[in-house]
Amino acid sequence: MISIIDYGAGNTGSVKNALDFLKFKSKITSDKDEILNSDKVIFPGVGNFGDVMKELKKRDLISVIKKVIEIKKPFLGICVGYQALFESSEESPDEKGSGIFKGKVIRFRSNLKIPQIGWNQIKIVNKNYRLLKNIPDNSFVYFVHSYYPDVENKKIILTKTEYGEEFASAIEFNNVFATQFHPEKSGKTGLKILKNFCGI
């Protein structure tokens, strides 16, 4: 069973629909025991960084996410679910992130239209990966965001993407996987990525 973390917002339904299509059993839940007892965990975040962090704290889910990672359960963060793994965000300076990884979430500095909405390419920079098995380099995936993590530990960066500037669009470290793009909205490529995660 795969737990999709429910914090009262986010695109949990579209993630579940994608997993249903792939025939993987999943459940949208905020129950701590269900999350900790599941085989894998997906955290799809959408919206304002501060609002997401407040809801996670209110439901005591940050400690659950940390525990999931600590016990080496496969974990996938999506969009703000990726950003929440870091220490802070320019979007909500007064709200701390989980601090699982070092780095700050920053706003695009380029003159291109913000947010970035639509398809863009991912360049694979770490060849020792599992999440992108059989995914061609420079594949197109779907983005909706104005911010991205400035990842301090460059060794965990899995892909980079160019949008007026280069940013880390995905990371992979041990049992933790996270993407700034939305695999559940990225067509066949996204479904392959989700299938890879479910097979880990």
Q: Are 186 and 16 in contact (CB under 8 A)?
A: no
Give the pLDDT confidence score for residue 193 in this predicted structure: 98
Give 195's Cβ-side CA count (13 Å radius): 13
Percentages helix, strand, coil for the chain (3-state, rounded to 5) are 30, 30, 40
Q: What is the pTM of this model?
A: 0.96
Segment 17-76, tens digit of pLDDT: 999 999 999 999 999 999 999 999 999 988 899 999 999 999 999 999 999 999 999 999
Tokens matching residue 117: 């909405």
Q: Are 92 and 48 in contact (CB under 8 A)?
A: yes
CATH fold of 2-198, please? Rossmann fold (3.40.50)
Segment 147-169, tens digit of pLDDT: 999 999 999 999 999 999 999 99
Q: Which of 55, 79, 172, 198 is catalytic?
A: 79
Give the pLDDT confidence score for residue 7 in this predicted structure: 87
Segment 69-124, tens digit of pLDDT: 999 999 999 999 999 999 999 999 999 999 999 999 999 998 999 999 999 999 99
Give the pLDDT confidence score for residue 9 in this predicted structure: 73
Confirm whether 184 is a catalytic residue: yes
Confirm whether 198 is a catalytic residue: no
Q: Are 34 and 66 in contact (CB under 8 A)?
A: no
Q: Which of 51, 22, 68 lies closest to 184, judged by CA?
A: 22
Q: Which of 91, 145, 184, 198 is catalytic?
A: 184
Q: Which of 91, 145, 172, 182 is catalytic?
A: 182
Confirm whether 34 is a catalytic residue: no
Give the pLDDT confidence score for residue 81 in this predicted structure: 96
The 8-class DSSP code of residue 66 comes to: H
Tokens matching residue 50: 């501060």
Helices of type H across 71-108: 80-83
Strand order in the sheet with 116-124: 26-29, 2-5, 40-45, 75-79, 176-179, 166-173, 157-162, 116-124, 139-145
Helices of type H across 22-48: 32-37
